[in-house]
Amino acid sequence: MRMQNFVFPLRHFIAPFALAALLAACEPAPLYKPDAAAVTAAPSTVATAPANYTGHEVIWGGRIVGVHNFPDHSEIEVLGYPLDSSQRPRFDQPANGRFIALMPGYVESMDYPLGAPMTLLGRIEGTRSGKVGEADYVFPLVAVEQSHRWTPDEMTRPHVSFGVGVGVIGIH
C-alpha cells in the first residue's frame, strides 16, 4: 500500500477530533466541582426553609449589590442568577434571590464593584433577616470557600459546546 493512500483516511479520522478540541476550547470549564451533597436550590428556596440546607455546599453566582467590611470578615450582598455550564451567571434569566457571601478577612470593595458578576463555592450557614429598600427580606448566608469575580472578557466568551455520545437532559 502506498503512503499516499494511508494518509488520506488518517486525515479524515483526525479532523473531527481536532475540530472537537477547538470547539471545546471556546467554552470555559466549570470553576468548581461540587461535592456529592451539594445543594442545587436557588437562594430564594433556601431562604424559605434554611434548616433543610444549613451546612450544605452551594455554587451560586450573580451580580454584586454591595460590600460591607467588619473587623473580622466582609460581606458581599449578591443578587443571584442561574449559572450556565461554565458556572457564569446567566443574566438573560430571571434573578433567583439575594444572598450574603461571608468572606474571611478584609475585602477591598474596589475589587468587587457594584454590578460585577461573581460565582462562589461555599457552605450555607443559615439566614439573616434584613431589608431590600423598605421591604423585609431573608438572606441566606454562605461561608465562602472560593470565589471568582468575572471579567467582561470572560462573560462575553461564546458558549459553544460539542460532544460525541448520548446525553440526557432532566427537566425539573
Q: What CATH number does residue 84 fall under?
A: 2.40.50.140
For residue 90, being part of any structural domain is answered with: yes
Report the domain count for the chain. Answer: 1
Cα Rg for the chain, rounded, in angstroms? Answer: 21
Residue 34 within any structural domain of the chain? no
Task: For the chain, 172 residues long, give each residue's pLDDT as a single digit of tens.
Answer: 555 555 555 555 555 544 444 444 455 678 788 888 788 999 999 999 999 999 999 999 999 999 999 999 999 999 999 999 999 999 999 999 999 999 999 999 999 999 999 999 999 999 999 999 999 999 999 999 999 999 999 998 765 545 555 544 444 3
Q: For position 29, what pLDDT does the model report?
A: 78
The whole-number pLDDT of residue 35 equals 82
**170 found inside a domain:** no
Question: What per-residue confidence (pLDDT) applies to 21?
Answer: 45
Domain holding 88, by residue range, is 43-156
Residues whose CB falls within 8 Å of the CB of residue 157, separated by 6 or more in sequence, listed in order: 26, 27, 28
What is the per-residue pLDDT for 161?
A: 46
Q: Quote the pLDDT of residue 167.
A: 47
Nine-digit cell string for 157: 466568551
Please report, as a single letter, which amino acid is at residue 144.
V
| Cα 88 from Cα 111, distance rounded (Å) | 18
Say whether 88 sits in a helix, a strand or coil: coil
Kindly report, residue by residue over 11-20, the tens digit of the pLDDT.
555 555 444 4
Report pTM: 0.76
In a domain, 54, yes or no: yes
* 145 in a structural domain: yes
pLDDT at 20: 47
